[in-house]
Structure formats: structure tokens, C-alpha cells
Amino acid sequence: MAKSYEIAVIGGGPGGYMAALRAARLGKKVMLVEKEYLGGTCLNRGCIPSKTWLKNAEILESMERAKEWGIETPEISVSFGKMKRRKDEVVTRLRNGVSLLLKKGKIDVYEAEGIVEDEHTVKAVSEKGEERIRAEKIIVATGSSPALPPIEGLASVPCYTSDTIFDIESIPASLIIIGGGVIGVEMATVFAALKTKVTIIEAAERIIPAEDAEAAETLAKALKGKGVKIITKATVKRLTKEGESVIAECADGQGNPLIVTGDAVLISVGRKPNLSAVRTIGLEMNGPFIKVNERMETSVPHIYAVGDVIGGYQLAHAAYMEGIVAASNAAGLDKRMDDKVVPRCIFTMPEVAGVGLTEEAAAKAGLRVKTAKFDLAGNGKALISGDTGGFVKIVYEEKFGEILGVTMVGPHVTEMISEASSFISLEGTVEEMAGMIHPHPTISEAFFDAAWKIFE
């Protein structure tokens, strides 16, 4: 007789394990099936490994800058092996933490591939065989995989994706990064700090094209200052191996040929959903992704979907909340996902953070808005830390002053963006922000200073 649960979760990444924990806390009998490691892409091959390496990059830059501040240091050397081991230690510790949380929640974890056979049946497939599990509700959280563009010769050159770059054996002398989105610019920051000659090739008019144009311009200037070459409005047509080098044959915006040479290639052009668990049940799709409503319900009754598999922001913290919403509704509550307050963070140097609408998005939506901006060149803490190349920009509704979006560029702004999220969630106004007392000297008071611009 098949085992029976109230809620079955397929996928042990942020959306999946958070859904399982929420359902368990609501008193439901829960199982979770994961075919690889708990923690998903974020913990094992994404957010955590990349931010661990970015911390290395930050320390390296600080050590190099120390001489300008009267601190003499010996010549800096890097042990890439130790860098990788530290990354692995951080990942293992957090993965064990997820396992402990699931154990405390009395959630049954199956080490297997989960396949949805119908709205109440999950097949768990492992080396031990197959097992069918009955469930009243099913939450699909199967994540995504790196998308590979149709480039001729891709399989014949040393090529990495965001999943495999952390397995690279040594620091390359030069690296071609195809794609200037979040992953591309973060990895460019890491390898530039390691003295790799980095070239970013981006098809759009600018790097991080989904973010504020001024933020992209500021980040591009900073990356170029670190020696990163940025080529925009260009596509890679062909990759070939010539000795120890990789040759990227590209075309610019006018179709003119362009050649870029490197020792290795990193592909970072986006991610595709993992759909093998749901191919036979007739789910309605939103392009390549599973279509859901604001309750995270799919087109098939009793089946929910969360995380990268539904598209959208494809961020771990968005998946957390989607998992909470799905589990709450699967347990009989009524909860809805509000994605207008999902913060977007890029952990480069300087960092870039945003929430809500950018200035361009507001204009495209036909909204009557104004902006208020404060440059960090006038911020005391930024001057102290030597990081003045950033800003805070507020996009607010013209008539009532409601804050619709905030973009921040500067040191540690990813730690500050939640304040903006709170204001947008509570429908706060720019005038109310201008009345908030912020500590001095801090980078965070630049938010206040930007709001204060409305009185000029």
C-alpha cells in the first residue's frame, strides 16, 4: 500500500524546503523528495558559493587599497585551493542546517527523483527502485538549470556555466563571460580581483539590462576600472579552440565581425525550468515556465508550483515566500504572493540593489512619476570608506508621493534595500521617508538624503 501524506513537495531548494517547513508548522503530514543536495541551486551552486568567493574578492580589493591609506602590506598571494575549500565548508554547513530543520519539522525526506503522475500521486525514483506516494496536495519546486545558447562549437571548448564554474581547477589567465546579467557581472568581479583578464559579451545595450540605466552605467564604469572589458550589443556566433586559447567569433550590433580570445568561457545567459517532474500531467504553461496564479496554484487542481520553475524573478528569497504562500494555501488558508516588493540584489563592488519599479519601467507603464536622487559623493560614510561612486534613487508617484521603486548603488546596499521594500509594501510616501531619522554617519542615510531632495 502506498504511503500517504497531506502535502508532498518535489524539490529541496529554497522554495521547496520552505514550503515543507511551513506546511509542517501548520500541522500537516509532509514529505519532500530531492534527487541531489538539499538547498537547491542557491545553496550548492549559486547564491552561497558565489557570495563566498565575492567576499574573497572584497578582501583582496581592501588589501590592495590599504597602501593608499598608509597601511603597508607585503605582496598579496592567493591560494585558490583554500578559497574553494572555504566555499565548500560554508555550503556543507548550511546544507546540514537545512537537513536539521527538516528533521526537526518531522518531514520525511526521500533521496530520489520525484515525478508527478496525477494530482494526488508522486513517483519517487532512485537506485533502490520506484515508490508511489499519495498526497492530498502537491507542491512542485524543481528549480532550473543554466540555459545554453545555440553557439556553434560550444561543446568543443573549455566552457563553464553558473553550475560548474565553482569546480574550475585553477584561476584562468583570461575569461570570456557570455552574458552580462547578474551572474556575469558577479563572476567578473570575482575573477577580476584574482587578476584574470575578463571580457563580458552582452547582447543588450548595457549590462544588467533589467536594472536602472544609471545603475548599469555606474557598475560598468567600476568594472572597467578593475580591468574588465565590456562589449555590449554583440552576440557570439562561434567558439573554436586554438592551442590553449578559446576564440569567440562575434557580431556587433551592425553585424560587423568581432574576435575575442580567452582561456575559458563562462555561459551566463539565463536559466531554463526543470520540467521532467511534470511533463505528463498537462499543466498550462507561461512560455517555458509553469503558469501559476497569485495563490501559486497551477491549472491542475491540488498542484502548486514555486521558485525558478515558474519563472519571474528566479531569486531564492522570492522562492521562500512563494513556498510559504503555496504551503499556506495547500493547508487550507488564503494567502497571496505580492511580487512588487521582491528586492533584487547584485553583490558586485559596488553593490546594486533595487525594489519595485525602475525609472524606465515606470515610464513604460505610463505612470506619472518623479525621481529623487542622492549621490554617495556627498555621504560621509562613503567618503570614509572610499566608496563614493554610487547613489540612491527614489521613483515616486507624482500626485501623492507614494514610493514606487528604489535603486541603490554602493557599498553594502544589499543590506539596506529591505527598508525600501518596507516603505513600498506599506505604501509609504517620499515625504514620510524625508521625515525618518537615520543614523549618522551611515550609507543608509543616503535614502533620507534622496527623499529630502523633494524640498529643494
Q: How does pLDDT run across 108-162, given as a tens digit for each residue?
A: 999 999 999 999 999 999 998 999 999 999 999 999 999 999 999 998 898 999 9
Residue 99 known to bind ligand? no
3 state DSSP class of 8: strand
- Residues with Cβ within 8 Å of 191's Cβ and at least 6 positions away in sequence, in order, are 171, 172, 175, 198
Tell me whether residue 440 is one of the annotated catalytic residues.
Answer: yes
pLDDT higher than 70, residue 73: yes
Residue 181 known to bind ligand? yes
Contact 305, 332 (CB under 8 A): no
Q: What is the pLDDT of residues 234-249, one digit of tens each?
A: 999 999 999 989 999 9
Residue 359 known to bind ligand? no
Residue 105 amino acid letter:
G
C-alpha span between 179 and 267 (Å, rounded): 7
C-alpha span between 274 and 283 (Å, rounded): 14
C-alpha span between 270 and 141 (Å, rounded): 18
Beta-sheet strands, E only, within 332-438: 344-346, 351-356, 369-375, 391-397, 403-410
C-alpha span between 125 and 121 (Å, rounded): 13
**Domains, the chain, ranges and CATH?**
2-143+270-329 (3.50.50.60), 152-268 (3.50.50.60), 349-453 (3.30.390.30)
pLDDT higher than 80, residue 286: yes
DSSP character string of 236-277: EEEEEEETTEEEEEEE-TTS-EEEEEESEEEE-S-EEE--TT
Q: What is the pLDDT of residues 14-31, one digit of tens each?
A: 999 999 999 999 999 999
The mean per-residue pLDDT over the stretch 308-322 comes to 97
Q: What is the pLDDT of residue 204?
A: 97
Residue 237 known to bind ligand? no
Band (pLDDT 50/70/90 cuts) for residue 250 is very high
Quote the Cα angle for 8-139-312, to 5°.
160
- The phi, psi pair for 345, rounded to 5°, reads -125, 135
The mean per-residue pLDDT over the stretch 288-295 comes to 98
Q: What is the pLDDT of residue 192?
A: 98
Residue 163 known to bind ligand? no
pLDDT higher than 70, residue 407: yes
Q: What is the pLDDT of residues 39-51, one digit of tens each?
A: 999 999 999 999 9
pLDDT higher than 90, residue 68: no
Q: Is the dihedral of CA 179, 181, 182, 187 positive or negative?
A: positive
Which helix H or strand E contains 144, and what residues bound it?
strand 144-146
Say how many C-beta atoms besides its own lie within 10 A of residue 22's C-beta: 25
Q: What is the pLDDT of residue 410?
A: 98
Please, where are the H alpha helices in 313-379? 316-330, 359-364
- Residues with Cβ within 8 Å of 441's Cβ and at least 6 positions away in sequence, in order, are 379, 380, 381, 384
- Radius of gyration in angstroms for the set of CA atoms belonging to the chain, rounded to a whole number: 23
Output the nine-digit C-alpha cell for 35.
Answer: 534527487
What one-character DSSP code corresponds to residue 154? G
CA dihedral 214, 425, 345, 96 (to 10 degrees): 180
Q: What is the pLDDT of residue 3?
A: 92
Residue 179 known to bind ligand? yes
pLDDT higher than 90, residue 1: no
Of 151-160, 387-396, 413-422, least confident by mean pLDDT is: 151-160
pLDDT higher than 80, residue 2: no
Band (pLDDT 50/70/90 cuts) for residue 253 is confident
3 state DSSP class of 303: strand
Check residue 27 and give left, alpha or beta (phi > 0: left; psi -120 to 50: alpha): left
Q: Which of 317, 412, 438, 440 is catalytic?
A: 440
What average pLDDT is seen over the chain? 96
Q: What is the pLDDT of residues 353-366, one digit of tens each?
A: 999 999 999 999 99
- The helix, strand and coil proportions of the chain, stated in percent and rounded to the nearest 5, come to 35, 30, 35
Q: What is the pLDDT of residue 456?
A: 81
User: Please, how many CA atoms are within 13 Å of residue 283, restricted to the half-sphere of its CB?
Assistant: 28
Residue 185 known to bind ligand? yes
Residue 114 known to bind ligand? yes
pLDDT higher than 70, residue 225: yes
- Residues with Cβ within 8 Å of 104's Cβ and at least 6 positions away in sequence, in order, are none
The mean per-residue pLDDT over the stretch 431-444 comes to 97
The mean per-residue pLDDT over the stretch 175-198 comes to 98
Residue 12 known to bind ligand? no
User: How far does CA 214 lie from the centroid of its chain?
Assistant: 20
Specify the long-range contacts of residues 86-94, CB closer than 8 Å, at least 24 apart.
86/52, 86/56, 87/49, 87/52, 87/53, 87/166, 90/48, 90/49, 90/52, 91/39, 91/43, 91/44, 91/48, 91/49, 91/52, 94/39, 94/43, 94/48
Q: What is the pLDDT of residue 409?
A: 99
Residue 152 known to bind ligand? no
Residue 144 known to bind ligand? yes
